[in-house]
Amino acid sequence: MPDSQLSPASASLPATAPSALPERAELDRLVGMILDEARRLGATESEAAVSFSDGLSVSVRLGEVETLEYQRDRGLGVTVYFGRRKGSASTSDWREPALLETVRAACDIARYTAEDPWSGLADPARLARAPLPELDLHHPWALSAEQAIDIARDCEAAARGFDARISNSDGASVGRHESLVVYGNSNGFLGGYPSTRHSLSCSVIAADPQADGRMERDYWYTSDRDASRLEAPDAVGRRAAERVLRRLGARRIGTRTAPVLFVPELARGLVGHFLGAIRGGALYRKSSFLLDRAGTAVFPDFMQIHERPHLPRALGSAAFDGEGVATQDRDLVCDGVLQGYVLDSYSARRLGLETTGNAGGVHNVIVGSSAPAVGYDELLAAMGTGLVVTELMGHGVNAVTGDYSRGAAGFWVENGEPVHPVEEITIAGNLKTMFETLQMIGSDIDLRGNVRCGSMLLAPMTIAGA
């Protein structure tokens, strides 16, 4: 089974619970107090964000509790503008004297900073207005420390008991997280909503004493806003076990060029490099290999990339960005052609463009193909002979030139079938060329992140080995 085909959620996981968050009205009041104080001190514009988060994380190794952390954080940040002079300050103290002192500190900073002609709040006409879309992002989990420990132990036990060759473990971890963030500015915007994110992961080590005894490590995880949609603990453990066992007997291969297939969780990283190259900050600094490419083909004509910020329960959903600008569906790539950039208000002004509602990042990027759907096995068949990459190491990516060189591990494929695992190799190419000559996109989409993407089959790359 390809890794992206997730198992059903476990009916035994604890149910939802009452929220541990403070009342939204309290955070609204604090934001209002901050903006009022900034106005009183002479700021021409101001913005503030107040946040509260609550969480629990547990890790178990070899059946014993290794870490147990309960987290409850609060924060407050303010930015003020005196004309085009900007100052920012933050604190974790919500008491009124500390709050007022933080605003004064931001104002003092602004009075001494240099003017920046592009600074300032977002265009009031672009701010989100009521009613905001209902995104269903808040699903508190009734998870006690004892329950979390039991889940982690069950997950690790499923992995360790799967095969005698699984000799050791890096452990299993369970976490629940709940937060509320309220943002407001002096242009009249005030918005916020609670959200949750929960996860379960397992990492194990295997060695075959009948072979070379070399140890291998692999993992699996599940993540969702709603705990009822997580994979079952035993399914996560078994998946981690299956992944580590298939790596036993890995070998190096000789240097060559060959097609390369990135599995979904790594293909997401390639998309991340693309998104980084079209961000406003990289563009106005002229530090992107996709500089001035809007309106031109950067992928083959089957490639489609969309941003969908309003998907219910999705991990990247948001009704507004970090400046209060309304988010909206947009096409980043249509038929291989780059439609536009990823901009906040500041970078948009630097480039003479309009904000795209991406202050703080992108929201649910969906990668697809206009060609007929192709599954993982069909991608292997289309590749014929080549390399499936399941792990990448190092940071050999030059965002300015697009040069790409990463340590890798995976599987060598012949006649559309994996024949043996591979390790201690390096794959190299250039992202611009890799994108332009992309061969196929798989339908095996991984939903566990902000970028939803299937496997990617790339044209031959340089593989440096033995």
In a domain, 405, yes or no: yes
Question: What is the structure's pLDDT at 222?
Answer: 98
pLDDT value of residue 3 = 53
d(CA 153, CA 148): 9
Q: How far apart are CA 180 and CA 52, in angstroms?
A: 5
Q: How many domains does the chain have?
A: 2
Q: Looking at the structure, tell me whether residues 321 and 226 fall in a common domain.
A: no
Do 323 and 459 share a domain, yes or no? yes
Same domain, yes or no, for 214 and 279?
no
Pair (197, 276) in one structural domain: no
Whether residue 32 sits in one domain with residue 165: yes
Residues 282, 384 share a domain? yes
Asked, for residue 19, whether it belongs to a domain, the answer is no
Other beta carbons within 10 angstroms of residue 286's beta carbon come to: 9
pTM more than 0.85? yes
Matching residue, tokens 């060559």 = 256
CATH number, domain of 67, equals 3.30.2290.10
Q: What is the largest CA-CA distance in the chain?
A: 76
Let me know whether 79 and 199 are in one domain.
Answer: yes
Q: Does residue 337 sit within a domain? A: yes
Does a structural domain hold residue 4?
Answer: no
Per-residue confidence (pLDDT) for residue 297, from 0 to 100: 98
Q: Are residues 263 and 237 in the same domain?
A: no
Same structural domain, 237 and 261: no
Distances (CA, A) of 349 to 120, 291, 343, 366, 400: 10, 16, 9, 27, 22
Q: Is residue 90 included in any domain, yes or no?
A: yes
pLDDT tens across 9-67, in order? 443 565 556 778 999 999 999 999 999 999 999 999 999 999 999 999 999 999 999 99
> In this structure, what token pair is assigned to residue 14?
């604890």
Among 245, 274, 295, give the residue marking a domain's end. Answer: 245
> Low-confidence residues of the chain, pLDDT below 70?
1-17, 211, 466
Question: Are 201 and 270 within one domain?
Answer: no
Domain boundaries, position 143? 24-245
Neighbour order of strands in the sheet with 365-369: 337-338, 330-334, 303-307, 365-369, 451-452
Q: Is the domain of 302 the same as that of 446?
A: yes
Q: Which among 202, 223, 245 is the end of a domain? A: 245
Based on the domain organization, do 234 and 301 belong to the same domain? Answer: no
Domain boundary among 214, 245, 276: 245
Is residue 11 situated within a structural domain? no
Decide: 329 and 308 in contact? Cβ < 8 Å: yes
Residue 6 lies in a domain: no
